[in-house]
Amino acid sequence: MVTTLRLQNFRSYTDDSFEFDPAVNIVVGPNASGKTNLLEAILMLSSGSSYRARDQELISHKAPWARLEGFYGADTRVLKLTRSNQTVEKSFLLGDKPFKRLSLERTVPVVFFEPNHLQMITRGPQHRREYIDSLLERSLPGYKALVGNYRRMLAQRNALLKRGRSFGESQLFAWNVRLSEQGAKIAQARQVLIDKINKNISKTYSEIAQHKSAVTIQYEVQFPVGSYASQMLSRLEKNSSLDYERGFTAYGPHREDITFILNHQPANQTASRGETRSLLLAIKIFELGLISKARGQKPILLLDDVFSELDGARRHALVDYLSNYQTIITTTDADAVVEYFSSGTHNLIPTTTASKLR
Q: Cα angle vertex 153, ends 148, 155, to 5°?
A: 95
Q: Which residue has the higher pLDDT, 224 or 340?
A: 224
Q: Can you give the pLDDT at residue 166?
A: 72
DSSP string, 178-198: HHHHHHHHHHHHHHHHHHHHH
Residue 153 and residue 249 in contact, taking contact as beta carbons nearer than 8 Å: no
Q: Which domains does the chain have, with CATH numbers?
A: 1-108+299-358 (3.40.50.300), 117-295 (1.20.1050.90)
d(CA 213, CA 271): 12
What number is the average pLDDT over the span 197-203? Answer: 96
Query: Checking DSSP bridges between strand 215-220 and strand 257-262, what pairing results, if any?
Result: antiparallel
Residue 225 and residue 187 in contact, taking contact as beta carbons nearer than 8 Å: yes
Which 8-state DSSP code applies to residue 255?
G
CB atoms within 10 A of CB 7: 27
Position 357 confidence tier, pLDDT thresholds 50, 70, 90:
very low
Q: Radius of gyration over alpha carbons of the chain, in Å?
A: 23
d(CA 255, CA 245): 17
d(CA 220, CA 223): 9
Q: Can you give the pLDDT at residue 168?
A: 64
Q: Which residue has the higher pLDDT, 290 or 321?
A: 290
DSSP string, 96-152: TEEESS--GGGSPPEEEE-GGGGHHHHS-HHHHHHHHHHHHHHHSTTHHHHHHHHHH
3-class SS of residue 332: coil
Question: Which span out of 8-17, 306-315, 344-353 was modeled with the highest average pLDDT?
Answer: 8-17
Report the candidate in 266, 128, 258 with the shortest Cα–Cα distance to residue 191: 258
Span of 21-25, 166-170, 185-189 with lowest mean pLDDT: 166-170
